[in-house]
Chains A and B, each alone.
Chain A
């Protein structure tokens, strides 16, 4: 018994360095940032004078002037970016997985090609897609617009990521960014769905076929429901990436005219490290943390619970 207890202690001690590091670097630093977000630190020199929620207030109310306007745009941009990016990845990813699941020849080649963008840095992706979507101007089109011009499709030429058009609060300039992000991450959902599809026993489909179900019907009423947990995982993983996305937008477009492609992470970076508004930057990052936690924590808690029940 005491041997077992000793071993439990040893087990805990092995984990201890990691626990301490994460306690400091994750939870300690979050607390520190939260404190900064309630301080008057505005400049290079730290100033921990307590100001309560004033920095948050300035992000959400008229008192913040242009900061509040920018932050509201940022939140809308994040919202639409996330929704459309997730939709694109899930729909295209599932579609590709189903196609690949049809016992196609050369599956490996297709799979490799769909998935390879995952191995690239967002910086590389941003640089390349910036070149592709650079709009040019009428008469001297660049990028896709040049291609459209060559194909005689001038009417489709469009300012892409510098467009200030919007549908309600949705800035159309986000579309090129969503395409670039989906290009990079669709392979991930495809791989997840493919693994899921491969995990579904062939007998199940056979049985359904014997019962006279069509292939479409099999997918709709048998396979799709079985893929639901995968969809949930994919949404969580991609969702948290999308909510905090920085590298891609920073390298590809930056904030854009009228903040059409701005997101909280860029606002945070600029206001903190260029404007030296540390307290405001901290407030933005804490809000980002809450957005991510809102998505991730319930998921983590339920997976934990599921395991305990198992």
Chain B
């Protein structure tokens, strides 16, 4: 008995000391000295100005973790660091799901009174319907005015990021959603022209399938890529005017155009890789690179991804507007905002100043594979694809992306995603259309 007790005692002590030791020893092993876990309560927005010398911390929250986007973000950090060498930048990223994971995290952080200094948010309804109406953001109009940016940005972009006469975030780029990427070799080998219309697309798809090539790669793990594809199909089937009307209640969700779009989508699903629900867009893009698949409809971050693989636009891969959308530019924009209660507000303002500057955007966008939100980007820095996007952005009909927060609130996007989650599995057009119409009613845009 006594003997036993001694043993237990020794066990318990050894266990505890191992735990304590490992806790003490670990800091030495950690390569980056962590910021001590000081409680970060919601500091009042009107903190006294930090010394002009800068330094201190800056936590920037984004979902940019892969290839070109992470490199672009770092390039912007470098611009910032050059101006403020003492600044410790905490790169807070949450990967996955085109930002859907990050948005969940951000929501809980903001609600716990733990906002980052600045966070990535899609310009448009995602920003305004979620954060501005919740009174969680500080207006950044003053940054625009101080830096004389009002004329540097196209009025259409300023419109999207404004409400109630104030500007709420600094857009760093413009992305295009409606791009069809294709493997030039595959098309040449099969004697095919890249498809302009849906009829072209299906005709080419039959030939490709016959040849044992997946006509269209799709990677809709986590469903947002399905929503993305569908918005481009909607645009291609109904045109820019009717498409834009969907988000204001002017276009009927129960109308024949939506039915036609759903039917087209369902037909396209006959031509995609079987494991589309298990892979993401990078894996789908890889299929196109490898020649396993011929095409991919995805936003133009694919160009950034291809660049990070060392591929050259127009040589190693081709691109064009997705079927039926020639002359339209489905846009989305990443922007950074200034949350109320940012722990390091002055550093955050410095960051936003860099993010909105020509230098910052020209550092970021060529790597990210997007075009500047400003009109004065240095054209010599951008590759062939991005130059074509710049030209199209200036001349095309602009529409707002649903999948990426420009067209609708997050609540609407979530309901829409659920409808798509069902649809990709059962391809039941009537149910999907009813669910989409219901979602519009639920958010109060469409009448009952």
Instruction: Report which A residues bind B (CB closer than 8 A).
Output: 42-45, 65-67, 69-70, 134-140, 159, 161-162, 164, 254-260, 269-271, 273-277
The minimal Cβ–Cβ distance linking A6 to chain B, given in whole angstroms, is 32
Decide if B418 touches A66 in the complex (CB within 8 Å). yes
Contact partners of A277 in chain B: CB under 8 A:
411, 414
Query: What A residues does B221 contact at CB under 8 A?
Result: 254
Sample 5 A-B pairs with CB under 8 A, ordered by A number: A137-B274, A254-B221, A255-B223, A259-B422, A276-B410
Question: Whole-angstrom distance between the alpha carbons of A138 and B272 in the complex?
Answer: 12
In the complex with contacts A65-B442, A137-B274, A275-B424 CB distance below 8 A: no
| Cβ–Cβ contact B421 & A135, under 8 A | no
B419 to chain A, nearest CB (A): 5
Closest to A67 in B: B418
Q: What's the minimum C-beta distance from A251 to chain B, rounded to whole angstroms?
A: 11
Kindly state the separation between the CA atoms of A260 and B275 in the bound complex, as whole angstroms.
14
Q: Chain A's nearest CB lies how many Å from the CB of B138?
A: 15
Contact at A274–B277, with CB atoms within 8 Å? Answer: no
What CA separation (Å) do A134 and B100 show in the bound complex? 22
Q: How large is the interface on B (under 10, 10 to 19, 20 to 34, 35 or more residues)?
A: 35 or more
Partner of B103, one of A66, A269, A274: A274
Selected from A45, A70, A274, the residue in CB contact (under 8 A) with B104 is A274
Question: Is there an interface contact between B414 and A271, defined as CB atoms closer than 8 Å?
Answer: yes
CB <8 Å contact, A45 and B415: no
- Least Cβ–Cβ distance between B258 and chain A, in angstroms: 15
A65 to B442, CA, bound (A): 9
Chain B: residues with CB nearer than 8 A to chain A? 100, 103-104, 107-108, 110-111, 130-131, 133-136, 214, 220-223, 273-275, 277-278, 292, 410-411, 413-415, 418-419, 421-422, 424-426, 431, 434-435, 438-439, 442
Residue among B214, B421, B434 having the largest count of chain A Cβ atoms under 10 Å? B421
Bound Cα distance A138, B275 (Å):
9
Contact A45 B425 (CB under 8 A): no
Given known pairs A43-B133, A45-B133, the reply for A69 and B107 (CB within 8 Å) is no
CA distance A277 to B412 in the complex (A): 10
**Which residue of B is nearest A277, CB measured?**
B411
The minimal Cβ–Cβ distance linking A71 to chain B, given in whole angstroms, is 10
User: Do B435 and A274 touch (CB < 8 A)?
Assistant: no
In contact, B411 and A43 (Cβ under 8 angstroms): yes
Is B415 a contact partner of A65 (Cβ separation < 8 A)? yes
Contact yes or no, A137 B426, CB < 8 A: no
With both chains docked as a complex, state the minimum distance between the C-beta of A36 and any C-beta of chain B, in angstroms. 13
In the complex, the answer to whether A257 meets B425 with C-beta atoms within 8 Å is yes
Nearest residue in A to B438 (C-beta to C-beta)? A65
Assess A254 versus B222: contact at CB under 8 Å? Given A43-B130, A140-B292.
Answer: yes
Taking a contact as CB atoms under 8 Å apart, the answer to whether A260 and B222 are in contact is: no
In the docked arrangement, what's the CA distance between A65 and B253, Å?
Answer: 14
Closest Cβ–Cβ distance, residue A301 to chain B (whole Å): 35
Q: Chain B nearest CB: distance from A19 CB in Å? A: 26
Q: Tell me the nearest residue of chain A to B101, going by C-beta.
A: A274
Distance to closest chain B CB from A64 (angstroms)? 8
**Shortest distance from the beta carbon of A57 to any chain B beta carbon, whole Å:** 13
Q: Which of B111, B223, B414 is within 8 Å of A44, CB to CB?
A: B111
Alpha-carbon gap, A137 to B411, bound state (A): 33
Name 6 extra pairs, CB < 8 A, besides A45-B135, A135-B274, A140-B292: A44-B107, A134-B278, A138-B274, A257-B277, A257-B424, A258-B421
A275 in contact with B278 (CB, 8 Å) = no
Q: How far is the CA of A164 from the CA of B424 in the complex (A)?
A: 10
Determine if B422 and A65 form an interchain contact, defined as CB atoms under 8 angstroms apart.
Answer: no
Q: A271-B414, A275-B415 are in contact. Are A69 and B422 (CB under 8 A)?
A: yes
- Report chain B residues within 8 Å CB of A162: 275, 277-278
How far does the Cβ of A33 sit from chain B's closest Cβ, in whole Å?
15
Q: Within 8 Å CB of A273, what residues of B?
A: 104, 107-108
Question: B61 to chain A: closest CB distance in Å?
Answer: 15
- CB neighbours (8 Å) of A274 from chain B are 100, 103-104, 107, 410, 414
Interface centre among A44, A66, A260 (most CB of B within 10 A): A66
Q: Which residues of B contact A66 (CB under 8 A)?
A: 415, 418-419, 422, 435, 438-439
Nearest 3 interchain pairs by C-beta: A258-B425, A275-B414, A65-B438
Q: A164–B425 contact, CB under 8 A?
A: yes
Cβ 8 A contact of B278, one of A65, A70, A161: A161
B411 engages A275 (CB within 8 Å): yes
Contact residues in B for A134 (Cβ distance below 8 Å): 278
Query: In the complex the two chains form, is B275's CB within 8 Å of A137's CB?
Result: yes
Judge whether A45 and B134 touch: CB under 8 Å.
yes
Q: How far is the CA of A286 from the CA of B430 in the complex (A)?
A: 32
Inter-chain contacts of B292 with A (CB < 8 A)? 139-140
Q: Whole-angstrom distance between the alpha carbons of A75 and B133 in the complex? A: 34
Provide the bound-state CA to CA distance between A65 and B108, in Å.
27
Among B103, B214, B274, the residue within 8 A (CB) of A159 is: B274
Q: Across the interface, which residues of B come within 8 angstroms of A67, CB to CB?
A: 415, 418
Q: How far is the CA of A256 from the CA of B422 in the complex (A)?
A: 9
Cα A164 to Cα B273 with chains together (Å): 15
- Please name the residue on chain A nearest to B102 by beta carbon: A274
Residues on A with C-beta less than 8 A from B413 are 275
The answer on a CB contact under 8 Å between B131 and A44 is yes
CA distance A69 to B108 in the complex (A): 27
Knowing A135-B275, A137-B275, A274-B410 touch, does A65 contact B425 (C-beta < 8 A)? Answer: no
Measured between beta carbons, the chain A residues less than 8 angstroms from B274 are 135, 137-138, 159
Name which residue of chain B comes closest to A171, CB basis: B425
Chain A residues with CB below 8 A from B278, complex form: 134-136, 159, 161-162
Are B425 and A260 within 8 A (Cβ)? yes
Q: Which residues of B contact A255 (CB under 8 A)?
A: 223, 421
Q: How far is the CA of A159 from the CA of B104 in the complex (A)?
A: 29
* A162→B220 CA distance, assembly (Å): 11
